[in-house]
Structures are given as C-alpha cells and as structure tokens.
Amino acid sequence: MREIVTVQVGSFANFIGSHFWNFQDEMLGLAADPYGDPAFKTQSLNMDVIYRTGETHQGTTTYTPRLLSIDFQGSLGSVSSKGTLYSEGSNEPSEVVTWAGHVSTHASEPQKKNLFLQSLYQEEQDAPLTNGINGEAKDSQHEIQDTDIVNCLDEGVQFWTDFSKVHYHPQSLYEVNGLWMDAKQFDNYGIGRDVFMENLRGEEICDKLRFFIEECDHIQGFQFIVDDSGGFSPLAADFLESVSDEYTNTPVLLYAVRGPSSHMSLSSRKQTVVRDLHDAVSFSRLSSFCKMIVPVGLPSLSRMLCMLRRYTLQVSHSAWSHLVLLQIYLMYLVLWMLMGLYKC
C-alpha cells in the first residue's frame, strides 16, 4: 500500500477540504451500492490510499480520512475536536485538588447542529426525519424539510463542518488556540511567523501527523492544502520544514489556495505593496519544501466560469460556487493518484 496523508492548513483550505471529503464519501457510497455503476467498483480505484481503518473503544470498525486539519480555535462549529465517532470522556472535574479557594466555571453554549447535520445524524440512527399520519403526508413533510436543508446550506453556513458529511478521527482535528486575535487580523505573513513554535504547538501538530504516518505501510507522499495569503502561510511553511527534516525522501504536493477576501481591493498603494511582498515571501518559502506547488486563486476561475456558462450551466460568483469548482479540480488530481496514474 502506498498511502497519502492529507494536511489542510487554514480556514479556506478546510472549506475546500470539506468539499473534497464529501466527494470521496459519495464515491464510497456509490462503490458500496449493489445497483450502482460498475465504474465505481473497479479495483483500480483504491480508497485506502487516503482513508484509514480504525476501531473505537467499543470495538466498532471505522473508516476515516487520513487527514490533519489545522484551523482557529472555535472553527469546528458544532463538531468536537475529538471527532464524532470516539467517546469524548467524562467532563467531571479531576479528583486531584491543586487549589483550595473558590472555583467559578464559565462555559459558553455549544454550537447547535444545523438542519443538514441533524438529518445526517437521524439517518445514521435509522430514525425518520418526520412523522406523518400517512405516507402522503410524510412525503410532503419530508420534501419541505429537504427544502429547509437546502436553504440552510445556501444561507447559513458559518463553519466548514456545517456541510461536512464525514466522520473524523480525534487526531485529525487541531485548533490553534491562544492567538488572542480576530481571524480578520490574522491576514499577513508576518503576523503568523512565530505561531508554529510558540506554546509547543509545533510538537503537538507533529505528534498528530506522526500518528497517521506510523500506521502507513509505505507512505507515498503528503498532500497539503494551504491558505497562502495570510497568517497560516508561515505556520504551514514551518510545519513543512519540520516534515522535510523528518521525512526527507517523502514528496509533498502543495495546493496554495486563496479565499475571496484575499483578492479584495486594498485602500492604499502601500497596503497593496505590503500584501504583494508578503505573498512573495509566502510563495518562496512554501515552494522550497515541496516537489510541486499548484497556486489556486479565484481570479483564475473567470475563464472557467465563462466556459461553463456556454454549456448552459448556471454558476454564480458566490464563494460556495468557487469552492465547488476548486474542489472539482483537486478531486481529479487525487483520482489520478488513487488509480496510480500519477506518481509523486
């Protein structure tokens, strides 16, 4: 087996990655469908390259992405950083007493699952989505609920987990905590320069990556999806430097992605020059640690959008559509890897 480990660094990279893993989940479903197209049942398409088999504490077999996702603290929405398949342990306080004074606990309300995630949970529990008196009424209610779910995904997506169908291993999710800044302020190379090395974050991230590598038979390479225009770029560069030192002969394929906000017009020429300098430093460092770097930016999609419209495909300029188009492109590259048509 020649496995691939995927690493997603940054908010926009995780939005793209969520689409990517949803595509893979659909392919797994088509391959398992006894009435599905035989094209999805070919032995040439080996999903074990990017997925791993595991087991919960209860002995239940799991099949989860071989993935490490890095993002801000609180970016997982209603999903726990420990995932959804494994028990999260007890929330009771420890018996070890280190403080004899008064203790006051302040906890924020957890994010609620949206209608899409609720419907997925109900399907997994084999529970009906709605209760009707007869089949006709149930179908009608089901149709209304499907419409509500679509509206929820069109208008209410706040986190990349809001539309993710996939279960993740606890080692797959890492939240960068202790930054003490708004995500909008974390928007240039210099501001994230020391994030990887501070507060043992680098060791924690490398330990999570090592978990996936050590269970591989013969790792083929790493697939990085990185926000390259903000503070996550230096974090990814430091991480890549650590990876290149520890896994010298393992190649890296890197997708440098940029969200819509990175292409907004800046208010002054000075800001434009500063942003260009940050982007140049970012590209230089990231490219030095990988075998291939694929810059993926929204302006480059303009021609693609025009071509798609010629074939009467209705595509909007929303960030959601951009994400889907970017992910279609990435999906085909990874399919080549899974089928052995592309070698790192």
Residue 102, pLDDT score: 83
Do residues 50 and 220 make contact, with C-beta atoms less than 8 angstroms apart? no
Q: How confident is the model at residue 305 (pLDDT cuts 50, 70, 90)?
A: very low
Residue 32 lies in a domain: yes
CATH of residue 182's domain is 3.40.50.1440
Alpha carbon distance 228, 257 (integer Å): 6
Q: How confident is the model at residue 128 (pLDDT cuts 50, 70, 90)?
A: very low
Residue type, 65: P
Residue 338 lies in a domain: yes
Residue type, 92: E
Average pLDDT of the segment spanning 180-197: 78
Do residues 115 and 148 make contact, with C-beta atoms less than 8 angstroms apart? yes
Does the pLDDT of residue 217 top 80, yes or no? yes
Q: How confident is the model at residue 69 (pLDDT cuts 50, 70, 90)?
A: very high
Residue 318 lies in a domain: yes
Alpha carbon distance 181, 203 (integer Å): 22
Where is average pLDDT lowest: 32-46, 150-164, 290-304?
290-304
What residues contact 293, with CB distance under 8 A and at least 6 apart? 254, 255, 256, 283, 286, 287
Residue 326, pLDDT score: 57
Alpha carbon distance 322, 328 (integer Å): 10
Does the pLDDT of residue 275 top 90, yes or no? no
Does the pLDDT of residue 161 top 50, yes or no? yes
Whole-model pTM: value is 0.76
Structural domain count, the chain:
1
Residue 119 lies in a domain: no
Does the pLDDT of residue 300 top 80, yes or no? no
**What single-letter DSSP state applies at residue 295?**
E
Q: Which domain holds residue 241?
A: 3-83+146-342
Burial 136-166 (b: 16+ CB within 10 A, else e): eeeeeeeeeeeeebeebeeeebebbbbbbeb
Q: Copy the structure tokens of residue 160.
A: 């990349």
Residue 265, pLDDT score: 56
Residue 89 lies in a domain: no
Average pLDDT of the segment spanning 227-242: 91
Residue 291, pLDDT score: 92
Residue 21, pLDDT score: 93
Residue 306 lies in a domain: yes
Q: How confident is the model at residue 211 (pLDDT cuts 50, 70, 90)?
A: very high
What's the mean per-residue pLDDT of the chain?
76
Nearest-5° angle of CA 112, CA 113, CA 118?
Answer: 145
Strand ranges across the sheet with 292-296: 173-176, 67-72, 2-9, 218-227, 252-257, 292-296
* DSSP code string of 107-145: -PPPPPP-HHHHHHHHHHTT--SS--SSHHHHHHHHHHH
Do residues 334 and 20 make contact, with C-beta atoms less than 8 angstroms apart? yes
Does the pLDDT of residue 137 top 80, yes or no? no
Residue 295, pLDDT score: 82
Alpha carbon distance 215, 132 (integer Å): 48
Residue 196 lies in a domain: yes
Residue 223, pLDDT score: 94
Q: Copy the structure tokens of residue 166.
A: 């996939």
Q: How confident is the model at residue 127 (pLDDT cuts 50, 70, 90)?
A: very low
Residue 295 lies in a domain: yes
Q: Copy the structure tokens of residue 281.
A: 């430093």
Residue 337, pLDDT score: 53
